[in-house]
Amino acid sequence: MGVRVGMLYPGSSAEDEYPRLERLLGDGVELPVVITSVGVDAHEVAALLDLGRSERLLTGARALIADAARPDAVMWACTSGSFVFGWDGAHRQAAEIADDLGVPAGSTSIAFVAACRALGLEKVAVAATYPHDVSRHFVEFLAHGGIGVTELVSHDIPTAELAGELGHDEVLELARSNDSSAAQAVLIPDTALHTVAWIDELETLLGKPVLTANQVTAWYGLRLTGARVTCPGLGSLFRR
């Protein structure tokens, strides 16, 4: 039986990661994407709070069921637009979508914590595209979920559009920038960043699990449906 996980994706930068994930995950997995509205494309707290407000998410969620068959689960495929609301706020976001559509829902921030727990990770390094003040919100979110951050590196990329332009070499360098020896894994938390094609290469380079935003979003969305999917090429998370 097939499984459909609807993706609410803000704006346009790396939404093509989801068709790629569909191809890798194989027949029976669908990840339809609806682009949610964006006010100002900026990695700034105020802009991100606007990006993740209820009206934008619910409008996108309703478009998802208008355009296609009802999904089995829905993900708010945005890390910064969920973690800036804090632990309780991010879970309220997911609950609002779930209540409105009548299916389980989550977000990328929630998915990162779940993925760390699934892999038994307690200490991680974070290599973030965001400015430092935004990245600190992610560190606090992880801490609330019981995940310690050994080191944080923020690359101060001001917009999602610019993050989406980074290619293979830049993404590998981003990961390498925070290969903390004390960390059990490296987290790269921006859904605007292309990473899916290079996750195994990143893990080989660093010698430890690497969790990236679009990867964990798809994984957690599948878990919400009850599906357990393994897949070569998508890192330790999809091999377990």
The pLDDT of 129-144, averaged and rounded, is 97
Would you say residue 1 has pLDDT above 70? no
Contact 49, 231 (CB under 8 A): no
Q: Which run of H or of E encompasses 25?
A: helix 17-25
Structure tokens at 240: 């377990």
**What does the pLDDT look like over 188-226, one tens digit per residue?**
999 999 999 999 999 999 999 999 999 999 999 999 999
Instruction: Calculate the average pLDDT of the chain.
Output: 94
Q: Which domains does the chain have, with CATH numbers?
A: 3-111+214-239 (3.40.50.12500), 119-211 (3.40.50.12500)
Note the pLDDT of residue 43: 93
Total Cβ atoms within 10 A of residue 143:
13
The pLDDT of 114-136, averaged and rounded, is 97
Would you say residue 133 has pLDDT above 90? yes
Identify the band that residue 69 occupies on the pLDDT scale cut at 50, 70 and 90: confident
